[in-house]
Amino acid sequence: MPDGQAIPSAARPISGGAPIVRLEGVTKRYPGVIANDRIDMEFHAGEVHVLLGENGAGKSTLVSMLSGLQQPDEGRILIDGDARPIASPAGALDIGISTVFQHSMLVPSLTLVENAVLGRAWWRRPDREGTAARMAAMAARIGVSLDPMALTGDLSLGERQQAEIVRALMRGARFLILDEATAMLTPHDAARLGQLMRRLASEGVAVVFITHKLNEAVEYGDRISVLRLGRKVGGIAPETLRQMDPQAATGEVVRLMFGTHDMASGAAARVDPATVDRAGDPVLEVLALYAGAAAVPLHNIEFKVWPGEVFGIAGIDGNGQKQLAEALAGQEPISDGRIRLDGAFVDRLSIGARRGKGLRYITDDRLGEGTVGSFSVAINLLLKEIGAAPYWVQGFEKPAEITENAREKIRAFDIRTPSAETPVGKLSGGNIQKVLLARELTGTARAVIFNKPTYGLDLANIAATRQRIRDTAEAGAAVVLISTELDELLDLSHRIAVMDRGHLAGIVANDDAARRKIGELMSGVGE
Amino acid sequence: MTLFTDTFLIALLAGVVAAGVPLLLAGLGEQLSEKAGVLNVGIEGMMLGGAYAGFLVAWATESIGLGFLAGAFGGLLVAALMVLFCVRLGLNQVVIGIALTLGAEGTTALLHHVQFSRLYPRLPEVPTWRIPGLADIPIVGPALFDREPVVYLALALVPLFAWLYRRTHLGLAIQAAGDKPAALDSAGENVLAIRALAVLGCGALVGLGGAFMSIAGAGVFVPFMTHGNGFIGIVLAMLARGRPLWVLLGAALFGACLSGSTALQVAGVDIPTDVVQMLPFAAVMLVLLIAGRNAKLPSALGAAYVRGER
């Protein structure tokens, strides 16, 4: 299809009529799981069709079949009413199906134009100028601003996604899949993408939007389908959705996703800031801490956390939160200042020695530094005790003890894994987090640092993780909770500090005025 | 000083070309393969395969041209195995590369023993193409512009590859195959085909380099005769950061070291031969130490591409 002509004209019938793509009894199995179980679904031109589901509900599998990466084991996919297999990504493009994945599918070392001409006949000379002009025109048409000559690697993720959408339309896409496209975006970029979706739908494109954020689903969607454990458990048709107010629609979706009404609103009430007894000695004391060599240098950080207290750290991501957590855990060298745990200085101690004294760090990089993906769940549960009795005796592994420990923790922390021997990398994000929690929270945890503990998890796992944080504090440990979600901090913390460019801009008690004060601190008003 | 006579300088410069051309071909080939995401450690084996096949055919048919063609084909054959195992079947590139090198060493040594161990045939000198005008420049002329056609071909490949990478769709596709194969796949291109093409192209170039060593350089085939030239090619490709011109500069540098060591011996400078022969490899390490620090390699280098796997 030539470049210029792309979006089907808006004169075409929007909604109603025959679907562009229709799934009939589509089933896909992987060893040990049914990823998609007899899915029936319709996708219409001019509609934003939202696919909702928790991690592991089968959304990604469905997408990979629509984009030609995988083939269904059973059932069929009808394109414009004809049963046609989508044999490859190239085949999907020919039909007019384009996918924008969560992780950008542009080559970072090429410019946007060069990415746009990838996949053309290789013996022809790439027409950079002409393509750039068409790209700019298409971008202008859908209200996106981009520089076609920019190097992809220099752009933000949001800009890359917009460029991918432009590229898809240039190739004649009439069926656009956005796979978790907003998951890694800033709220501002996510909102822009939402508006773009609406505009595309009004031009007659069929948009499939995969997400696990309910508000986005209700705000941008015309039609909602909910997947759970590989099955389509229900949906809301456009007519119904239009008549519902956002609150009612959210409630309905939550009911479909979890079978209950009130999971989304957070199970427990807000904490009472007065419950912490600050008369005694603090567990964790940070005194004039500096880390000059860190990626985000820390300067003059001071705070104390008492037993049973959750000390929240708010702030825009990348303001030194990770560096602070690593400095406390011993992974980042400090240049000045002291850290005291239960009255004893620990800042000269190694990572292992600090852990031995009860200082625990639950990283946000679950698969990178938290676990070894190819190791079994059982070994990952003991990753920081390898070689120690009773699991290893004189260097020899004791499989019975290791398995017993794993079984106990899998039960206690509700880790959903096929077996204790399964490599941890095969589990979903929520279950990997449970493995981390199980490892770090057992034994004598005195002070626990949670770094973005609910990042990337689905609602059920978010609720479970937040409960663990509360339980940890109630058991008498000091908790440092680093999060970029203000609501999470307001729900769980007794006091909240705001971190800004490596410094704590202020500490506020979590009372009714906390939200306003934190907002002021974050924008640099308060001081 | 009598050391720097004209004859000596011509011999030295000619030696740089003779030693540098196989390195240049190896470096360009490895660069092509690495750009597409295949770390080709089997390059030494491909070179030996080319050296043997080239010599055999040149000797049997008494045609130098056919010999070079056969050399390229010999390298291509070994590369075809690499394509089968590493691109098609997705096996570990380093392991297969080492296996191919060892296999080619053993096979060519054995074949040589069976066929030539009693004869030790020699090939006649390869005819040269004299470029009118340029060849009359003193010193540089006879060393550079009165050479075997393969030398000109190898030099011509440098701008050709630069053009390929910068100006063509194929060049973009090759770069994408090495940097983000999934992106290329989702753009509707066949990643495995692009990678296979790159590895086969690498094999042909490297094989030609091997044939140059046996046919034009030595005039005989000796087991293990490529000793390390392929591996230096890997170093060159890494240092060149994707630019063919840098491969040329690197090949000239290492060629100078190789030829310098011979020239010093010829000139009767009294240094132990072991030290002299070590020179090029010491140079490799020195250059790696200085320039290898921020060498940038394609992000998907060494990783097999399997559709849908993350």
Print pLDDT tens along chain B (310 aa): 455 677 778 888 888 898 899 999 999 999 999 999 999 999 999 999 999 999 999 999 989 999 999 999 999 999 999 999 999 999 999 999 999 999 999 999 999 998 887 877 888 888 888 888 887 888 778 878 888 889 999 999 999 999 999 888 889 999 999 998 988 888 878 899 999 999 999 999 999 999 999 999 888 898 988 888 999 999 889 888 889 999 999 999 888 888 877 777 777 777 777 777 777 778 878 887 887 666 677 888 888 888 765 4
Closest alpha carbon within chain A to B300: A107
Model confidence, pTM: 0.70
A124 with B169: Cβ contact below 8 A: yes
Which of B34, B166, B172 to probe the A interface (max A CBs under 10 A)?
A: B172
Number of domains present in the structure of chain B? 1
Rounded to whole angstroms, how far apart are CA atoms A64 and A71?
8
Is A12 part of a structural domain of the chain? no
| Residue B163 amino acid letter | W
Average pLDDT over chain A reads 84
Is B175 part of a structural domain of the chain? yes
Q: Are residues A247 and A323 in the same domain?
A: no
C-alpha pair distances (Å), B222 with each of A496, B108, B113, B122: 76, 9, 10, 11
Number of domains present in the structure of chain A? 2
Rounded to whole angstroms, how far apart are CA atoms B99 and B233?
18
Q: Write out the residue range of the structural domain in which residue B82 sits.
A: 22-111+147-291
Rounded to whole angstroms, how far apart are CA atoms A66 and A95?
11
pLDDT of the residue at B100:
95
Q: Are residues A319 and A179 in the same domain?
A: no
pLDDT band for position A141 (cuts 50, 70, 90)? confident
Q: Is the distance from CB of B67 to CB of B215 less than 8 angstroms?
A: yes
Chain mean position to CA A225: 20
Nearest residue, CB atoms, A120 vs list B169, B186, B299: B169
Query: What is the tens place of the pLDDT at every residue in A470-482?
Result: 999 998 899 999 9
C-alpha pair distances (Å), A267 with each of A107, A166, A259, A416: 43, 42, 15, 22
Taking Cα atoms as reference points, which of A92, A90, A96, A48 lies closest to residue A67? A92
Is A33 part of a structural domain of the chain? yes
Rounded to whole angstroms, how far apart are CA atoms B308 and B299?
18
Instruction: Please tell me the least confidently modeled range out of A20-24, A378-382, B11-15.
Output: B11-15
Query: Residue B66 corresponds to which tokens in the numbers above?
Result: 């056919």
Rounded to whole angstroms, how far apart are CA atoms B15 and B257?
10
Q: What is the CATH number of the domain that holds A306?
A: 3.40.50.300
Nearest residue, CB atoms, A108 vs list B167, B170, B180: B180
Cα atoms in the Cβ-side hemisphere of radius 13 Å centred on B71? 30
A90 with B184: Cβ contact below 8 A: no
Closest Cα of chain B to A427: distance in Å?
A: 14
ipTM, two decimals: 0.75
Is B116 part of a structural domain of the chain? no
Rounded to whole angstroms, how far apart are CA atoms B92 and B85?
8
Q: Is the pLDDT of residue A9 over 50?
A: no
Is B185 part of a structural domain of the chain? yes
Q: Is the distance from CB of A496 to CB of A514 less than 8 angstroms?
A: yes
| Average pLDDT, integer, range A79-97 | 87
Is A190 part of a structural domain of the chain? yes
pLDDT of the residue at A526:
42
Q: Is the distance from CB of B239 to CB of B288 less than 8 angstroms?
A: yes
Nearest residue, CB atoms, B175 vs list A99, A106, A109: A109
Is B62 part of a structural domain of the chain? yes
Rounded to whole angstroms, how far apart are CA atoms A514 and B249?
64
- Chain B residues with CB under 8 Å of A72 CB are none
Rounded to whole angstroms, how far apart are CA atoms B8 and A131?
56
| Residue A524 amino acid letter | G
Rounded to whole angstroms, how far apart are CA atoms B135 and B146?
6
Q: Write out the residue range of the structural domain in which residue A479 sits.
A: 282-522
| Average pLDDT, integer, range A281-292 | 92
Is B1 part of a structural domain of the chain? no
Is A14 part of a structural domain of the chain? no
Q: Are residues A125 and A250 in the same domain?
A: yes
Nearest residue, CB atoms, A126 vs list B172, B180, B308: B172
Cα atoms in the Cβ-side hemisphere of radius 13 Å centred on A435? 33
Question: Residue B59, exposed/middle/buried by CB under 10 A (0-12, 13-18, 19+)?
Answer: buried
Q: Is the distance from CB of A303 to CB of A311 less than 8 angstroms?
A: yes
Instruction: Please tell me the least confidently modeled range out of A199-208, A259-268, A377-386, B163-172.
Output: A259-268
- Chain A residues with CB under 8 Å of B173 CB are 118-119, 122
pLDDT of the residue at A31:
63
pLDDT of the residue at B3:
57
Taking Cα atoms as reference points, which of B102, B119, B121, B114 lies closest to residue B55? B121
pLDDT of the residue at A15:
46
Q: Are residues A452 and A484 in the same domain?
A: yes
Is A10 part of a structural domain of the chain? no
Helices (H) and strands (E) counted in chain A, each on its own, are 17, 22
